[in-house]
Every structure is written in structure tokens, then in C-alpha cells.
């Protein structure tokens, strides 16, 4: 770690903006809040190559001839963001060795949960296993939003999506979500973290900086709410993120060289209803007769939270 | 001084890779191209080559990483066969449309199913419209020579397109034959250093690759790609001429074998051309005017030149080593027939399918084709427009 | 040589597009004004603003420029009017007014 300075919001916000406005993401999108926050963690003077899986972010942030990135950027396809950056990073090593490149470059790839948890999972796993020095950032909005809110393996249980629609015979998605951060941690890479947007962004910033400046592969899982898919007022995003953390639906943690650490433990863990209630995709759970569904959701949140606490208590 | 050796086609291509010493090679094994990444890995392990090898987890990733490395500013390549090529099909289009000068060593093998590891051209013919330049070899010498020429074509500023260097699985890739190799420094001087104008790792000017392009841009982009493919024709000939200067071996779009005064011609691609040449020599001794047009460059397709070379024949048999399931012939059949039609040629044209999944193509098979063409012209004995060679059948 | 994207429009002939649709420049999206989309507009009450900057990282559109530790006025050429900044302000210094 080069930068041990205390986090200072005024200092980091004064850095040159690396995501330019004029991209076509929806008003209130969580995806670009995540991208901006991660890119702010790059040290001034360091160059970067930004990678991107196909998805909302890609089709909106590089519409020919408008790129929203002040750094170099490569989008290849949906399922290969990990492999593509493997090639870029390897080229960098080779060209530096040959003396053709002198400057410092960092490599950061963004993918939504579709491109990361699902179609790009193999490519991500391969690139992590091979030890390329780059960061893979998943902006997890819990469904295939670009194609119109279809379920993914990151979609929470009971969510109403266009491929798990709520109906007379259906209460939404049947399965709980895949724990991708844990799966990547089991690749025994040097750095894995889970975070979201909270007040002054210290948690996200610190984790992004560690991810970028830890040699070797790193994975960041950032919950990035989607107002269209989750069905809440665009202005409410910070509240939704806070409730996700306070209910332990989205715990904040790091896995540093295999050691699990909780970043935050709520003093009073809030009931899961508090997270579900403001979101239209869970509206059906609050109908009379569906009380048991919320109980089941709570049980799964509790089980996973205890499991995480156990991992984090191990020396 | 040329080096006389005995090598398989896979060894020959690997040797060319070692001599060129490219920057990055991601690859995933698949029979019969597996030996290429193995040989390159061994060269690297023994310090004979500085290429960075990426042992990716699939062919989709090998082409994805090749694209990433090339966009970053490196000279990149990969190797594959059959289903490996099919798995990277999406990425073939991306490499070409991004105008990245990557090279693929393809060892032709039948596509599944049923799974079959032997030679046919269904893999590369399936990728024929992906925007890649395709150059085919008859033997290990041609595979080596074509590979040495590949980057000079792909990296030419008027082209900037990926190149597929194809050889026949097992027949060429594994059979050991005599070969003349060039000296290392001769190859290095011929190929030169790759100095891209724009690349991701250029700290002066950032580069963005792979946009979403709306309808108002897409069609113009495809036109630009097509123009680059047209430009490739002259560049391929120029590079071939320069290559003749260092090797003494002259290449063009195709080889004409005893075609000049031929009345009956076969058009085909790849190793089976050697077999056909044997049949021609035998038939010529018996006074038959038979000849061969062996296609080397299939993309860009040398339409006018092919028609010109065939225009004085009485009958042409186009032999495809791939089905296209259009129910009237193979891909080479369609394209050569179109070339002849556009040139207002009126000779008889028939399409044959041979050698699928490694089915033998023997000297007598080639002789039979010539006999059928002759009987068609001299006795009016009809041949189906589209037939299989060496097929077992109840009729 | 950097790409001058003002020369690339939806009416450009094919010869004028960049090779492989690559752009040799950074941050060209700023020439596209997403402010047109806005139906509600943030208004800053400079009296109430304490320059705590909590409104700045929450903007999905990088529309609250910060210079030397202080926020400046909204970039209304690009602001889409999502209202996240107004909700995030602990001092009620940002209000959303209807219209552009």
C-alpha cells in the first residue's frame, strides 16, 4: 500500500474526474456512481486501462463517438471482460520488459452481475486463477437490467423480474442469490471486498484503493441499485444502500490474503422488511398471506450473516 | 542460407512463431493444433523465445485475450482447431471489426457432431464471413511460408485485419516432411517490429475500443472493413513477391498446376491438392488435358483472377471439403461458380464434396472426377450438380 | 493524433469514420448534453451549503464539479435531475424545482 493517508473527502473529490458526464445511463443510476468512486481511487499520474463487459454501462458510456472515460477503454463482448483484460495486462508486462512503455498503468474492469456472476463467470474465474494484476469490479444491481430486468444469479429471492414475474402461481424468483464474493475469495486471490454507497464513500474508496494497489488479482463486489429494476424513486438510492447494510442483506467485508474481516457490524440489525419495503420488486411480499415469505427471506439473511460472522471470527 | 529440416506442419508453424517472437500468445489446447502452444511453451521455457504465453481456460478466452493484447499495442496470436474456432466465433468478428492485426494458426478439423478429430474445412469455412483474411496451405512448407508472411499483411496500414493461416489437420499438421526454413535474422528483418499508431497503452493519447454504434454508423463501418479487405489483395501479392526475394518461393492467390492448356480442371483447397497433382501427372502421360487450381487465398476471394485462369476450360469440378447444407453444394462451389458466372464463362461446372471428417481422398478419386468431366463433355453423360466422393450408398 | 469527434456525425461518409470505430481521445461524452433529459432541476442554496461535499460522490453524472475542496454550481448541460444530491444533503441546501 502506497497511500496510508487518512481518507479525506475534500481531497479525493478534488481529483480530476475520470468519468466524464454526457454518458447515457438512466437518471439516478447506481452503476456510474460505482464507476466514479472506483476511478477516484487511482492515484494522480497513474494511467489506467478500463475494461467493460457488455451491459448498460458499456452501451451508455461508449456510444460512438462518445467515450465517457478520460483513460483508455476497451469493451470486447459480454462474457469475456476478464479474459480481455488478461490480454491487456500481459501485453503491458511484455511491452514494459521490452522498454516500449515507461509509464505506470493500472487495469480495472467493470461488469454488471449478468456479465460477472453468469455469462462471464468462467472468464472471470480464469483470469483470477492466472493471477493477472488487475481489479475486476462487479456493479451488482441484481438482474439483467440492460435487456429489461431479467433475473440473474445475483437477483435476491422473491424479486419480481421479467423472467420471474409475480403472478397467481408465482412469488417471484425462487432461489436466493449466489455469493460471488465468497466464490472469488476461494480462488485465494490477494484481495476481495464487498461494499456499496455509504455517506462519504470512505468504505468504497478505501477498498477500491486497496484493490487497485494490491499486486495481483482483486475483486470488488459493489451493490449498485437500479431505480428502474428495483422500482424506487431515483433520489432514494443512498437510503436503500444504507438499509441493505443495516439489515445485513449486503454486509461489508474484505478478504485480505485469505483472511476474512467484517468492515461494519450494525449495532441493531434491522429486520429485512426495512430493506424490502421501499422497493416495488418486493411489493407482493407485503400482501396478506405472504408473511411466511418474509420469514423465509429473513431466515436466509440470518443464516448467511452468521456464516459470514463465523468466517470473520477465524484467526 | 536456407536450413534443411524435417518437420511436421505444427512444428513448422511453431518454428515461425519462435522466429517472429511475437509479444503475447494466449491459447487453449485442442486436437490437432495442441502441439503449437506446446512447442511455443517449450521454446519459452528454454529461453528461445520471449513471447508471454497465457494459458487461458477456453478458446473464447484465447481470442478475447488476443484481442485485448493487440488493442493494448502488442503483436498477438493464438492457435486453434474445429470447435475451438467455433467457440471463438463471436470474437472473430470483434477482432476484424476492431481492425486488429492478430494472427491465428488454424489447423483445420471437422466440426462436431458427431465429434471427429480429423481434417475437413468446416471450421474455417464456417468463419469465412467473419472478416478475416484466410490463407491455406497444401503442405508444411506452405504453412511455414504463409505464417512468415502473415503479420506483414495484417499490420499493413491499408489492411489492419486479422489473418487466419490454415493447414490441414493431421495430414499437414502431424506428417513430417522435408522443409526449407529461413534463417532467424532473415525472418526477423522480413517481419519487422510492430509499431502501432494507436493503442491502449499509449500514455500520450488514450484510446477507446469497442463502442456501441447506432444504425447511422454501423453500415459505414462495415463498408470501411470491406474496403480494407479489398486493399488486402494487392498487399498479399506485394508481400508474396518480397517473400520470393528472401526464399525463392513464389506465392500468389492460387497455384495453377498444368492448368494453362487444360480442358478439365479441378478447383480445391489444401493438402488433397497434392493427391490431385499425382492424378494429373498420370493422366497427362496418357494425353489427357487436365489441370488444377489450388486456392491459397480464400479471403479476400480472388474472383476475377480465378475466372481468368479457368476461362479456357471445358468443364470445372469444384471440390469442397466442407458442407454448407444449402442443399445444392459447398461454400467453395458457390463462390467459384459465382466468379465464373460474373465473368460470363459458359463451361460446365460441377460441385463435389470430399474428405469430410478425414475421409480419404485418393489419386483414383481425383482421376474419376476428371473422367466424369470428360464424359460429360464428350459423351453428354450427366453428373449430378452436387455429389459426394467416396461415399457408401445403396444406389 | 487525437480524434476530433466534431468531424464524426451521423451524416459522415464512411471514409470519415475512425478505423475500427476506435476513438483516439478521452472524455468525448462531454459533447453530448444529457441535460436535455431533465424534468426536475437541482437548485443550490449557497447560504445553507456548508461545503461538506456529501452531495458530490453520489452524483451518477459527475455534475457537481469540485475545485480545491469546494463544490461549484451544477453542470446543467449534463445533469439528468435524479435528485440524489438533494436527498443526500444533510443541510437541505439542495432543492428540486420542477422543469428545466
Q: Could you report the per-residue pLDDT of B232-242, keeping only the tens digit for each?
A: 999 999 999 99
Residue C28 pLDDT class (50, 70, 90 cuts): very high
Distance from CA of C64 to the nearest CA of A (A): 10
CA–CA separation, C8 vs C16, rounded Å? 7
Query: What is the average per-residue pLDDT within B145-149?
Result: 98
Query: What is the average per-residue pLDDT within C18-39?
Result: 97
- Say what the pTM is: 0.98
Residue B143 pLDDT class (50, 70, 90 cuts): very high
Total residue count of chain C as it appears in this document:
100
User: Do B217 and A64 make contact, defined as CB atoms within 8 angstroms?
Assistant: yes
pLDDT digits (tens, 9 = 90+) for A162-183: 999 999 999 999 999 999 999 9
Residue A4 pLDDT class (50, 70, 90 cuts): low
Position C29 pLDDT exceeds 90:
yes
Name the one residue in this structure whose C-alpha cell is 492478430.
B102
The residues, any chain, with a CB within 8 Å of residue B145's CB and separated by 6 or more, are B137, B243, B247, B249, B251
Contacts of A20 in chain C (CB under 8 A): 26-30, 62
- In this prediction, residue B388 carries a pLDDT of 97
Distance from CA of A207 to the nearest CA of B (A): 25
CATH class of the domain whose range is C49-100 = alpha beta
pLDDT digits (tens, 9 = 90+) for C46-100: 999 999 999 999 999 999 999 999 999 999 999 999 999 999 999 999 999 999 8
Distance from CA of B73 to the nearest CA of C (A): 13
* Strands A170-171, A166-167: pairing kind: antiparallel
C-beta of residue B124 within 8 angstroms of C-beta of residue B106: yes
CATH code, A236: 3.40.50.970
- In this prediction, residue A315 carries a pLDDT of 67
Mapped onto helix, strand or coil, the DSSP state of residue A101 is: coil
Among the partner-chain residues C11, C15, C22, the one whose CB lies closest to the CB of B207 is C22
**Position A202 in a domain:** yes
Position C1 pLDDT exceeds 70:
no
Query: What is the average per-residue pLDDT within B179-188?
Result: 98
C21 — contact with chain B (CB < 8 Å)? yes
Q: How many domains does chain A have?
A: 1
**Position A3 in a domain:** no
Nearest CA to B253 out of B291, B290, B308, B316 is that of B308
**Position A1 in a domain:** no
Q: What is the H or E stretch that residue A184 is in?
A: helix A180-185
- Mean pLDDT, chain B, integer: 98
C-beta of residue C24 within 8 angstroms of C-beta of residue C18: yes
Distance from CA of B26 to the nearest CA of A (A): 8
C-beta of residue B336 within 8 angstroms of C-beta of residue B352: no
B198 — contact with chain C (CB < 8 Å)? yes
A22 — contact with chain B (CB < 8 Å)? no
User: ipTM higher than 0.95?
Assistant: yes
Domain extent at residue A33: 9-313
Contacts of C31 in chain B (CB under 8 A): none
Question: Domain locations in chain C?
Answer: 49-100
Position B271 pLDDT exceeds 60:
yes
A75 — contact with chain B (CB < 8 Å)? yes
pLDDT digits (tens, 9 = 90+) for B275-329: 999 999 999 999 999 999 999 999 999 999 999 999 999 999 999 999 999 999 9
DSSP A115: I
Q: What is the largest CA-CA distance in chain C?
A: 54
Domains along chain B with CATH numbers: 3-247 (3.40.50.970), 256-388 (3.40.50.920)
Amino acid at each position: 500500500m502506497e497511500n496510508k493517508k487518512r481518507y479525506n473527502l475534500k481531497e479525493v473529490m478534488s481529483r480530476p474526474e475520470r468519468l466524464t458526464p454526457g454518458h447515457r445511463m438512466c437518471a439516478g443510476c447506481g452503476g456510474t456512481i460505482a464507476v466514479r468512486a472506483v476511478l477516484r481511487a487511482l492515484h494522480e499520474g497513474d494511467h489506467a486501462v478500463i475494461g467493460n463487459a457488455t451491459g448498460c454501462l458499456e452501451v451508455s458510456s461508449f456510444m460512438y463517438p462518445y467515450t465517457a472515460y478520460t483513460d483508455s477503454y476497451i469493451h470486447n463482448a459480454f462474457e469475456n471482460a476478464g479474459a480481455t483484460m488478461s490480454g491487456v495486462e500481459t501485453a503491458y508486462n511484455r511491452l514494459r520488459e521490452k522498454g516500449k512503455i515507461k509509464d505506470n498503468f493500472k487495469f480495472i474492469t467493470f461488469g454488471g452481475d449478468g456479465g460477472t456472476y453468469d455469462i462471464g463467470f468462467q472468464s472471470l474465474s480464469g483470469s483470477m486463477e492466472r493471477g493477472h494484476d488487475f481489479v475486476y469490479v462487479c456493479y451488482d444491481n441484481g438482474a439483467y437490467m440492460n435487456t429489461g430486468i431479467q433475473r440473474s444469479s445475483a437477483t435476491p429471492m422473491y424479486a419480481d423480474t421479467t423472467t420471474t414475474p409475480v403472478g397467481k402461481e408465482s412469488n417471484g424468483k425462487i432461489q436466493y442469490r449466489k455469493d460471488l464474493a465468497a466464490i472469488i475469495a476461494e480462488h485465494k486471490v490477494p484481495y476481495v471486498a464487498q461494499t456499496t454507497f455509504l455517506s462519504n464513500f470512505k468504505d468504497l474508496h478505501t477498498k477500491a484503493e486497496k484493490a487497485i494497489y494490491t499486486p495481483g488479482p482483486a475483486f470488488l463486489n459493489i451493490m449498485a441499485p437500479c431505480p428502474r429494476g428495483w422500482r424506487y424513486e431515483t433520489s432514494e438510492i443512498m437510503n436503500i444502500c444504507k438499509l441493505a447494510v443495516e439489515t445485513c442483506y449486503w454486509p461489508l467485508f474484505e478478504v485480505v490474503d485469505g483472511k476474512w474481516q467484517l468492515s461494519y457490524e450494525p449495532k441493531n440489525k434491522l429486520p429485512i422488511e426495512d430493506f424490502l419495503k421501499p422497493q416495488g420488486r418486493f411489493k407482493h411480499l407485503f400482501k396478506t398471506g405472504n408473511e411466511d415469505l418474509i420469514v423465509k427471506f429473513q431466515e436466509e439473511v440470518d443464516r448467511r450473516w452468521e456464516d459470514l460472522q463465523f468466517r470473520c471470527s477465524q484467526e | 542460407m536456407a536450413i534443411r529440416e524435417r518437420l511436421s506442419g505444427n512444428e513448422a508453424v511453431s518454428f515461425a512463431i519462435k522466429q517472429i517472437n511475437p509479444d503475447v500468445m494466449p491459447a487453449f489446447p485442442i486436437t490437432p493444433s495442441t502441439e503449437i502452444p506446446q512447442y511455443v511453451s517449450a521454446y519459452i521455457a528454454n529461453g528461445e523465445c520471449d513471447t508471454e504465453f497465457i494459458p487461458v481456460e477456453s478458446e473464447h478466452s484465447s481470442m478475447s485475450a488476443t484481442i485485448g493484447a493487440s488493442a493494448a499495442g502488442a503483436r498477438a496470436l493464438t492457435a486453434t482447431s474445429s470447435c475451438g474456432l467455433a467457440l471463438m466465433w463471436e470474437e472473430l468478428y470483434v477482432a476484424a471489426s476492431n481492425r486488429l492485426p492478430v494472427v491465428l494458426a488454424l489447423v483445420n478439423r471437422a466440426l462436431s457432431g458427431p465429434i471427429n478429430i480429423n481434417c475437413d474445412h468446416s471450421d474455417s469455412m464456417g468463419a469465412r464471413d467473419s472478416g478475416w483474411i484466410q490463407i491455406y496451405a497444401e503442405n508444411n512448407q506452405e504453412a511455414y511460408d504463409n505464417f512468415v508472411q502473415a503479420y506483414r499483411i495484417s499490420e499493413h496500414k491499408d489492411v489492419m485485419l486479422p489473418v487466419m493461416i490454415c493447414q490441414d489437420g493431421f495430414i499437414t499438421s502431424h506428417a513430417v516432411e522435408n522443409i526449407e526454413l529461413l534463417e532467424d535474422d532473415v525472418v526477423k528483418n522480413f517481419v519487422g517490429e510492430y509499431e502501432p499508431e494507436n493503442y491502449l497503452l499509449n500514455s500520450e493519447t488514450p484510446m477507446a475500443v469497442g463502442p456501441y454504434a447506432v444504425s447511422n454508423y454501423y453500415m459505414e463501418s462495415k463498408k470501411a472493413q470491406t474496403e480494407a479487405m479489398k486493399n488486402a489483395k494487392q498487399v498479399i501479392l506485394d508481400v508474396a513477391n518480397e517473400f520470393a526475394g528472401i526464399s525463392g518461393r513464389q506465392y500468389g492467390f492460387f497455384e495453377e498446376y498444368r492448368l494453362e492448356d487444360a480442358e478439365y480442371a479441378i478447383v480445391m483447397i489444401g493438402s488433397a491438392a497434392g493427391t490431385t497433382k499425382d492424378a494429373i501427372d498420370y493422366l497427362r502421360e496418357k494425353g489427357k488435358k487436365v489441370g488444377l487450381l489450388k486456392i491459397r487465398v480464400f479471403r479476400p476471394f480472388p474472383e476475377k483472377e480465378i475466372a481468368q485462369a479457368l476461362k479456357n476450360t471445358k468443364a470445372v469440378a469444384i471440390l469442397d471439403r466442407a458442407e454448407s447444407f444449402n442443399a445444392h453444394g459447398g461454400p467453395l462451389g458457390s463462390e467459384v461458380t459465382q466468379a465464373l458466372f460474373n465473368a460470363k464463362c459458359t463451361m460446365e461446372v460441377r460441385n463435389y464434396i470430399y474428405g469430410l471428417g478425414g475421409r480419404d481422398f485418393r489419386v483414383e478419386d481425383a482421376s474419376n472426377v476428371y473422367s466424369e468431366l470428360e464424359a460429360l463433355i464428350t459423351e453428354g453423360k450427366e453428373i449430378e450438380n452436387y455429389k459426394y466422393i467416396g461415399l457408401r450408398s445403396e444406389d | 493524433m487525437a480524434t476530433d469527434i466534431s468531424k464524426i456525425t451521423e451524416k459522415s461518409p464512411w471514409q470519415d469514420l475512425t478505423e475500427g470505430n476506435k476513438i483516439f481521445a478521452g472524455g468525448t461524452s462531454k459533447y453530448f448534453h444529457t441535460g436535455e433529459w431533465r424534468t426536475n432541476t437541482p437548485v443550490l442554496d449557497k447560504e445553507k451549503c456548508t461545503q461538506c461535499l456529501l452531495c458530490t460522490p453520489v452524483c451518477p453524472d459527475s455534475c457537481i464539479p469540485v475545485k480545491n475542496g469546494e463544490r461549484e454550481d451544477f453542470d446543467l448541460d449534463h445533469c439528468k435531475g435524479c435528485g440524489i444530491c438533494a436527498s443526500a444533503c444533510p443541510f437541505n441546501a439542495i432543492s428540486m424545482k420542477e422543469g428545466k
